Amino acid sequence: MCTTCGCSTPNHHHDHDSDHGHSHSHGDKHSHTHGPESGARTTIAIEEDILGKNNRLAGFNRALFKEKGIFVLNLVSSPGSGKTTLLERTLRDLSHKLRFAVIEGDQQTDNDARRIAATRIPVRQINTGAGCHLDAHMIMHGTDNFDLDNLDVLMIENVGNLVCPAAFDLGEHHKVVVLSVTEGEDKPLKYPQMFHNSTVMLLNKTDLLPHLDFDVEKCKEYARRVSPGITIFEVSATSGEGMEAWYQWLSAGTQR
């Protein structure tokens, strides 16, 4: 059960060498009985942090990515923002200088993974079923078939949703929120946790601005209101406008 919205998420049962193999359901209460030397017995109820398991696995992922020198970005947005198109263009334009792999998250279908595969970049599809987000455990196993020793950047395209993915650390370096100008400039105020937790905002589909009543400066003001340090790029994945600045930021991240 998703702790953020109540959706069902797949249950995975894998053995790991580290201590994260022991699992409990989110929010479960566990009773432990202690017997002091006096013979008296005291029962103490312990409630596990609902995100504790995910955060432990995210830490495992983060340590692995650091060891391998991989720059990891978690792309988040609502459905229809143009995430996949933006990702396709980024891969095509930068794959001659950086080694990429992609994890695609969707509830159903491998449509987006097929689009990424057409760029000749290694890709892994994760279908969450009724689940509305990826979690650290999915990412841990999603990297199994990648050659991590020959990888510069891992791009994670999360399930289209501006709520639940905000709460789940995957072990990434940055959450990158993609906002289309067709969605309305007040999205950062309506979904503040997502924008607060994101380091970068890609304001996408700017080629459509002449046809829309969208206030770019107000949108940027709202984003900075909930996340004062957020970096904002105005881009069009279709025309290529503004993409070079995004590429420079991404490339610089691999040099850290």
Q: Which domains does the chain have, with CATH numbers?
A: 53-253 (3.40.50.300)
Residue 41 confidence (pLDDT): 72
User: Contact 136/58 with Cβ under 8 angstroms?
Assistant: yes
Q: pTM for the whole thing? A: 0.82
pLDDT band for position 131 (cuts 50, 70, 90): confident
Closest CA to 233 of 181, 193, 189: 181
Give the amino acid at 132.
Answer: C
* Mean pLDDT computed over 68-87: 97
Closest CA to 137 of 103, 107, 108: 103
* Mean pLDDT computed over 47-55: 77
Give the amino acid at 174.
Answer: H
Residue 158 confidence (pLDDT): 97
pLDDT band for position 40 (cuts 50, 70, 90): low
Residue 48 confidence (pLDDT): 56
Supply the Cα-derived Rg of the chain in whole angstroms: 20
- pLDDT of 21 strictly over 60: no
What average pLDDT does the structure give for the chain?
87
pLDDT digits (tens, 9 = 90+) for 147-159: 999 999 999 999 9
Q: What sign for the dihedral angle of Cα 253, 228, 226, 185? A: negative
- pLDDT of 112 strictly over 80: yes
The pair of structure tokens assigned to 232 is 């904002």
Coil/strand/helix, residue 178: strand
Question: Which region among 20-24, 68-72, 123-127, 154-158 has the lowest average model confidence (pLDDT)?
Answer: 20-24
Residue 8 confidence (pLDDT): 55
